[in-house]
Structure 1
Amino acid sequence: MQYNKSFYQIKSNETIFEKVKKEVNSIGYYSLPFQDTTNVKKFAKDVKQSHIAVIGIGGSTLGTFAIYQFLKRTNDFTKKLHFFESTDPTDIKQRVKKLDLEDTIFLVISKSGTTIETISIFKYLSSLVTMSKNNCVIVSETDSTLTAFAKQNGMQTFEIPKNVGGRFSVFSNVGLLPLAILGVNIDELLQGAKEVHNSFFNEDKYYDILMEKARFMIENKNRFNINVVFSYSASLEGFNKWYIQLWGESLGKININGTKQALTPIGLIGPVDQHSFLQLIAQGKRDKTVTFIKVANFEDDTKIPKNTLNGFDELTYLDNLSFAKLIDEQANATIQSIKDLSDIPYDIITINKVDEFNIAKLMYSYQLLTSVVGKFVQIDTYNQPGVEAGKIILKEKLNNKV
């Protein structure tokens, strides 16, 4: 008699937690909040250029962009941060126009050191301005082709640890270097991540939150397989993009029993998407969970003025209302409408303040949540074989000039 199965037992929280704790010894992102930032801060302090050009893609840029976009509206950064990610030629040229090439420091970021998009853009920019130790820094693994190039040309290098995957690398040199040069307080970033780390591994507040959320998602994944993040701040659009990569690339896998796992991420911005995707959530198929993210303190008291337009007497309740209050009430109204339906699972995350500490707490908690969910569904959370297949095909086509 032979017996085969394509299902697995959902483990206890205690078992999953033990598995996560064992990963700490081999998966590098867990320890990043505790690193020494002295060298990064020292280098950043000496950068004179006014423009920072980050050349990278995916995990090499999305986390940095998420933090930058969240903080830039409430900070007067004296330097300008630019991202070169796409091989779209019109996009590249438009971004180059925003640079003063002679007043730019170029940060080339690639874990492998051979990322096609990154090296292609690097080669192009090198035709426009001479790359040297005075204006170019390499962030890569210590033994990559890119690092070897840097050493041959006397360029400064910063390491990406081999055990830190791209989409988990925002709190490594990948994110800390450009953000430190920009003027972000990277120690406060790491402090926010550290608070979540300690709370989780001490089985305190974040342990309860993340375990409960992960377990619900796994126990209900066949019914609610779409996970929507509904962020009520335009400054969180970058976070949404980062979350989509983190969630999709980490959890869209085949597990140890050969079963395809599919927890699909969607990122929305409120109130904009109240006028589009909310209709699908409210009256569409019940296959979605929703996480609402609110900002408690925008540190902005801009108000809707009174008596600037005639003929809107029915909207006088808007007079002298702050936009911060308005967007908060828009979030509350949407949440209430979902709550009243009684059959859509939702939760609410409130960011206390727009600063480094709080965005790091949010991002690190999502990294931990991703790891926990990965353990529940018994996959390798940190590889991406589906992505690698396309890279192999592309290289073969380009080599054959097809």
Structure 2
Amino acid sequence: MVIPLTLNQSHVSISKLEEVFGTQVKTIHQEMNKGTSEGADYLGWKNYPNEISLNELEDALKAAKKLRENADLVVVIGIGGSYLGAKAIQDALSPYFEKNSDDPEVLFAGQNLSGAYMKQLLSYMGSKEVAIIVISKSGTTTEPAIAFRIMLEYMEKRYGSSASERIVAITDKSEGALREMAVRSGFTSFIIPNDIGGRYSVLTPVGLLPLAVAGVDIEQLLAGAKKAIHDLSNADIDSNIAYQYAALRTLLLSEGYNVEILASFSPSFETFHEWWKQLFGESEGKGGNGIFPAAVAYPTDLHSLGQYIQDGQRMLFETFVHFAEEAEDCAIPSSKENLDGLNYLSDKTLNEINEVMMHGAMEAHRDGGVPLLRLEVAKQDAYHVGYLIYFFQLSCAMSAYLQGLNPFDQPGVEEYKNNIFRLLEKPGHVIAAL
């Protein structure tokens, strides 16, 4: 049987990790399971893939089928956890260029405030048949709320009274502006569970519906997550790689390595880096604490950040994500003239060279004093990506708890929001003299 995910590292023995963190990890594990850990009201993600009902899944698939049949283009409106997870998985599992003929194009809005982006998106819609998925717990988050206001006007002008049939809202069960709009206008709607925060929500309707519309097999995605729940249910570090990863990160932080770089060699995995950065950045970056999450896409970044990683300040460690099995490959042809001197590679493929490049980079960075971790994922498909998503979520929660932090709040984001409301003269916010 192929193991979905393994963790390789040589920084410290597992027995040492068990000695240093074993008791603490077991205590945190038990507290999470009992719902007594800090922020436990937001632990709903922990077993959600097992708890989603057949009816809920069928409703999501049914709604996705309707959107796929009636739209050439589906615009997903959201930001942060309401955007990054779905985009990350879509990019990781979609062809680079031509989409499958039966799949509508899925684009995103509300994740920025660029007037040019929105103007060009509206123009791009053109004569395409359009549908909207709007995702917001409250319906009042500035960026997606503005985007939805613009899109709703567009849809009502174009489709009139039938516009509501082309809009799906994913929002709070009973409260908030978007819930009120959904009830008034008759939008099909799905619920963001109250006990799951945004950055942990990708395996709920927040991610599942847009992904189903994009043609991703969400049943396999959930199956991978369910397998991870089963595999990572043990409280012992020596048999739980999620807890090993969390303990390793905490140990490295204590040794002065306060930057983690997530590295991969698959271009389709780059948006996944962004989801990972939000997950760990918002969960750990508070009160002057936490590991700073950064990312590189190799081999591109070997020609930019590679110099710093190799020879800059020694405050970083690197976690490689590698997919053992690639779906496609491309051979390197032989050249009669061999002006580029590459005929010595003509019996190899691009994936084979990519693999060699990964090992070469890892060896160089290790020799340069960078602690290395490697996550070996069996395959880049829905099942294994679902497994990896859950692995990172559980690792992140444990890692934050080991640092004495609440993984589920984000008090730091409120300050910039208050400043924006003040500067935009939102009612109730006083303008301070500069």
Aligned to 2:229: 197
Residue pairs, 1:37-116, within 5 angstroms? 37-47=57-67, 48=69, 49-73=71-95, 76=100, 78-84=103-109, 85-100=111-126, 103-116=129-142
2:348 matches 1:328 = no
The TM-score, its normalising length taken from structure 2, stands at: 0.84
Query: What is the CA-CA distance between 1:133 and the residue it aligns to?
Result: 2.0
Alignment: residue pair count? 387
Output the amino acid matched with 1:81: V
Query: What is the CA-CA distance between 1:98 and the residue it aligns to?
Result: 3.3
2:66 matches 1:29 = no
Task: List runs of 5+ in structure 1 lacking aligned partners.
Answer: 1-8, 255-259
Query: What is the CA-CA distance between 1:359 and the residue it aligns to?
Result: 1.0
Residue pairs, 1:194-343, within 5 angstroms? 194-203=226-235, 208-222=240-254, 223-254=256-287, 260-307=288-335, 310-313=338-341, 315-341=342-368, 343=369
Q: 1:324 to 1:97 in 2, by over 3 A?
A: farther
- After TM superposition, the structure 1 stretch with the greater mean CA deviation from structure 2, 73-82 or 271-280, is 73-82
Q: Is the Cα–Cα contact under 8 Å of residues 332 and 349 in structure 2 kept in the other structure? A: yes
Q: Secondary structure at the match of 2:325?
A: coil
2:147 matches 1:121 = yes
Query: What is the CA-CA distance between 1:309 and the residue it aligns to?
Result: 6.7
- Name the CA distance, whole Å, in 1 between partners of 2:336 and 2:228: 46
Q: Is the Cα–Cα contact under 8 Å of residues 225 and 383 in structure 2 kept in the other structure? A: yes
Aligned to 2:171: 140
- Name the CA distance, whole Å, in 1 between partners of 2:293 and 2:337: 41
Query: What is the CA-CA distance between 1:101 and the residue it aligns to?
Result: 6.2
- Name the CA distance, whole Å, in 2 between partners of 1:178 and 1:335: 36
Aligned to 1:391: 417
- Name the CA distance, whole Å, in 2 between partners of 1:40 and 1:188: 14
- Name the CA distance, whole Å, in 2 between partners of 1:328 and 1:86: 36
Aligned to 1:179: 211
Root-mean-square deviation (CA, aligned residues, Å) is 2.2
Q: Is the Cα–Cα contact under 8 Å of residues 171 and 178 in structure 2 kept in the other structure? A: yes
Query: What is the CA-CA distance between 1:327 and the residue it aligns to?
Result: 1.2
Aligned to 2:4: none
2:404 matches 1:371 = no
Query: What is the CA-CA distance between 1:117 and the residue it aligns to?
Result: 0.4
Task: List runs of 5+ in structure 2 lacking aligned partners.
Answer: 1-19
Task: Write out per-residue CA displacement over residues 328-371 of structure 1, whole angstroms, 9 at most, x where no aligned residue.
Answer: 11111111222334x32111112222210111111111111110
Aligned to 1:166: 198
- Name the CA distance, whole Å, in 1 between partners of 2:225 and 2:383: 8
The TM-score, its normalising length taken from structure 1, stands at: 0.90
Task: Write out per-residue CA displacement over residues 172-228 of structure 1, whole angstroms, 9 at most, x where no aligned residue.
Answer: 110001111222111110111111111111347995322222222223314011011
Q: 1:272 to 1:28 in 2, by over 3 A?
A: same
Q: 1:137 to 1:45 in 2, by over 3 A?
A: same
- Name the CA distance, whole Å, in 2 between partners of 1:150 and 1:100: 26
Q: Secondary structure at the match of 1:296?
A: strand
Q: Is the Cα–Cα contact under 8 Å of residues 259 and 316 in structure 2 kept in the other structure? A: yes
Query: What is the CA-CA distance between 1:56 and the residue it aligns to?
Result: 0.7
- Name the CA distance, whole Å, in 2 between partners of 1:133 and 1:308: 62
Task: Write out per-residue CA displacement over residues 33-82 of structure 1, whole angstroms, 9 at most, x where no aligned residue.
Answer: 11121211122122221211101111101000000000112772621110
- Name the CA distance, whole Å, in 2 between partners of 1:250 and 1:367: 10
Query: What is the CA-CA distance between 1:391 and the residue it aligns to?
Result: 1.4
Aligned to 2:12: none
- Name the CA distance, whole Å, in 2 between partners of 1:206 and 1:361: 19
Aligned to 1:4: none
2:185 matches 1:153 = yes
